[in-house]
Amino acid sequence: MKPVGPIPAGFAGQSRLTVGGVDFAKLLERAGDTPAFLYDGSAMAVRVARLRAALPPQVRVHYAIKANPYPPLLSAMAGLVDGLDVASGGELAMALTVKPAAAISFAGPGKRDDELSAAITAGATLHVESEGEADRALAIGDRLGLIPSIAVRVNPDFELRGSGMRMGGRASPFGIDAVRVPALVRRLVATGADWHGFHIFAGSQTLDSAAIIDAQAATLALAGRLAEEAGAVPAFVNLGGGFGIPYFAGDAAVDVERIGQALGEALDRRGAVLADTGFAVELGRWLVGEAGVYCTRVIDVKESGGETFVVVDGGLHHQLAASGNFGTVVRRNYPVAVAERMDGAPAMTASVVGCLCTPLDRLADRVVLPEVAVGDTIVLFQAGAYGATASPAAFLGHPPAREVFVAASE
């Protein structure tokens, strides 16, 4: 028997799964079939409100749409947050349907000329990841007769401790090494570009609140130092994010109230060069991850070698992360339950395996479940971020997952 992660507060204690107050079976009917992701819009609204209450009032909240760009969800999130962060021309096009260009920033290495051009034409802010990219953006701006809005993404000289995905403190495809940033800023200002400020993203998915507090303080200090060295006042500093959510046994949630308090104190101490600067945090996973579940139907229950396998119609092609194949070193179990009997008495130890013909497709490894029968619905929690669009949907030719967004007003 292997441990599982904690069922998120919004779902814990239910006897039958409901999402946004609606019974899952109704939502699966709305989806038309399993497998399906179900998203709770009111849980997302509560999350944003809690973050806003915790953060100092001058800090804006941005949503990194790669976490979940499902159009109805994106549209609802756009109404809740101040800005959208995108990382491709495709995401830019989606963001522009729900938010004005001035509230959209475009980061990511390897932006093609047509992507730079689309951003400059629309008036979104480019977060340049290299001097070469800055030069291409300036040349494209010239050609278009437009002044590009450019922020410099900094590869910080520190990293976010405890981060699932470190993005600073070492050689990196992301951002420009901090020591080279002042020279680029001076050049951007001299060329007449609309220099927007800095983007400093130190890492992702940490549950260590103290590490986030330290990274935010270090980010503010670095932004102040770079601005002074460049001799220019940044209009805006994007402080990154990195807030994780608890996926596994023993994980505990980040303390956003403590982080907000500490950020307020760090802002009070910030250098004079940042006195009139605006700030934002950019979050994906923390805003939407807990508000989504993945439901998949039991196709078969079989025994082999003394173990029980619950075979479902979904798999890693929709929810790669739950199989342990998306940025984790050791495979551990996401929270899992039987949707019809969330409070069912433990009756069996079984592995939940997907329908793909590969041993990698294991959604839960030797977990304790209530009695499971063919036709039951297995629910995997913490599925609102990096699910449908972060999984290899075309692998093995099964249909894509369906998605249902339950609006906060329902």
Ligand X SMILES: *Cc1c(COP(=O)(O)O)cnc(C)c1O
Give me the residues that bind ligand X (CB under 6 A), please: 64, 66-67, 85, 87, 107, 201, 204-205, 241, 282-286, 385
Contact between 195 and 244 under an 8 Å Cβ cutoff? The reply is no
Nearest by Cα to 5 from 369, 333, 330, 292? 333
What's the closest the beta carbon of residue 353 comes to ligand X, in angstroms? 27
CB within 8 Å of 120: residues ≥ 6 apart: 126, 137, 140, 141, 144, 146, 148
Contact between 86 and 105 under an 8 Å Cβ cutoff? The reply is yes
Of 2 and 166, nearer to ligand X (C-beta) is 166
| CA distances, 394 to each of 56, 151, 344, 351 (Å) | 43, 36, 35, 24
Nearest by Cα to 204 from 34, 328, 313, 290? 328
| CA distances, 270 to each of 151, 170, 175, 188, 266 (Å) | 20, 25, 23, 24, 6
Of 286 and 294, nearer to ligand X (C-beta) is 286
Q: Residue 101 gets which letter from DSSP?
A: G
What's the closest the beta carbon of residue 61 comes to ligand X, in angstroms? 12
What's the closest the beta carbon of residue 274 comes to ligand X, in angstroms? 20
What's the closest the beta carbon of residue 381 comes to ligand X, in angstroms? 17
Give the strand pairing for 362-369 and 336-338.
Answer: unpaired
How far apart are the C-alpha atoms of 196 and 247, rounded to whole Å? 36
Of 108 and 148, nearer to ligand X (C-beta) is 108
Of 255 and 365, nearer to ligand X (C-beta) is 255
Of 134 and 355, nearer to ligand X (C-beta) is 134
Nearest by Cα to 89 from 62, 70, 72, 113? 113
Of 67 and 295, nearer to ligand X (C-beta) is 67
CA atoms within 13 Å, Cβ hemisphere of 404 = 24
Of 67 and 367, nearer to ligand X (C-beta) is 67
Three-state DSSP state, 67: helix
What's the closest the beta carbon of residue 173 comes to ligand X, in angstroms? 11
Of 241 and 246, nearer to ligand X (C-beta) is 241
How far apart are the C-alpha atoms of 237 and 274, rounded to whole Å? 9
Of 115 and 282, nearer to ligand X (C-beta) is 282
Strands of 53-142, DSSP E: 59-64, 83-86, 104-106, 125-128
Of 107 and 267, nearer to ligand X (C-beta) is 107
Interhelix angle 89-96/71-80, nearest 10 degrees? 60
- Reading the block at residue 259, the tokens are 């982080």
Nearest residue (beta carbon) to ligand X: 284
What's the closest the beta carbon of residue 355 comes to ligand X, in angstroms? 28
What's the closest the beta carbon of residue 142 comes to ligand X, in angstroms? 27
What's the closest the beta carbon of residue 9 comes to ligand X, in angstroms? 19
The DSSP code sequence of 114-127 is HHHHHHHHHTPEEE
What's the closest the beta carbon of residue 69 comes to ligand X, in angstroms? 12
What's the closest the beta carbon of residue 11 comes to ligand X, in angstroms? 20
